[in-house]
Amino acid sequence: MILGRHPRSFVLSEVEGRFTCVGAGRALRLRRFAPPLRTNGGMEQEIMNEPLYTIEILRLAGSLPEPVKLERVDGSAELRSPTCGSTVRTQVQIKDGRIEALSQEVQACAFGQASAAVVAQQAPGRTSDDVTLALDRLANWLAGKSEQLPDWPGIEPLAPARSRQSRHGAILLPFRALLSAMS
């Protein structure tokens, strides 16, 4: 059964209880739930080969809107993550210090695309102070320095990335690009 399609990147399907995401010439195997913990000498260890992308992350990544032409461009930025090579180009239209509209061109993994989708959904009406605070809280939350999520609805599905430090740069990049475009 096909669960979702994204014209630019992948097809998500379920066969015999296992999820498969096919895109960009490769397939990712996903499971519905996180795998159980294994014990090693009485100590619990997380299985390292658990699926990287959850269904929620892939659905969120698939909801990333296509770039649009803004009426006017009040600011723009193009940022690249040195750790993973993800690139985000962001243009903003600002009115009275608040984001009126934005357009993003995102070349990133599913975590980066999902983060950009959350930014696109929640950015209108925000100020640069709002974005700065959300970026700081998100960085601290991802790093495990805080349990407080940023005041940015929709960020919860990115929780599996907390244990994958190599993905933090891709998740923070859309927020950094938005803040840079607003400057």
Q: Which domain holds residue 73?
A: 66-182
Q: Would you give per-residue pLDDT tens digits along the chain (183 residues)?
A: 444 444 455 555 555 445 555 544 444 444 333 333 344 444 334 434 456 778 888 888 888 999 999 999 999 999 998 877 889 999 999 999 999 999 999 998 888 999 999 999 999 999 999 999 999 999 999 998 988 888 888 888 888 888 888 888 899 999 999 999 998
Q: With contact defined as beta carbons under 8 Å apart, do 122 and 131 qualify?
A: no
Domains contained in the chain, number:
2
pTM of the model: 0.73
pLDDT at residue number 134: 93
Considering the domain architecture, whether residues 101 and 167 belong to the same structural domain is answered as yes
pLDDT at residue number 126: 94
Distance from C-alpha of 132 to C-alpha of 179, rounded to nearest angstrom: 7
Considering the domain architecture, whether residues 57 and 90 belong to the same structural domain is answered as no
Tokens of 31: 């499971």
**CA-based end-to-end distance of the chain:** 46
Single out the residue in 46, 61, 76 at which a domain terminates.
61
Distance from C-alpha of 81 to C-alpha of 60, rounded to nearest angstrom: 20
Q: Report the alpha-carbon angle 176-177-179, nearest 5.
A: 65
In the numeric block, the tokens 């195997």 are attached to 29
The domain spanning residue 86 has which CATH number?
Answer: 3.90.1010.10
Nearest to 161 by CA among 180, 139, 142: 142
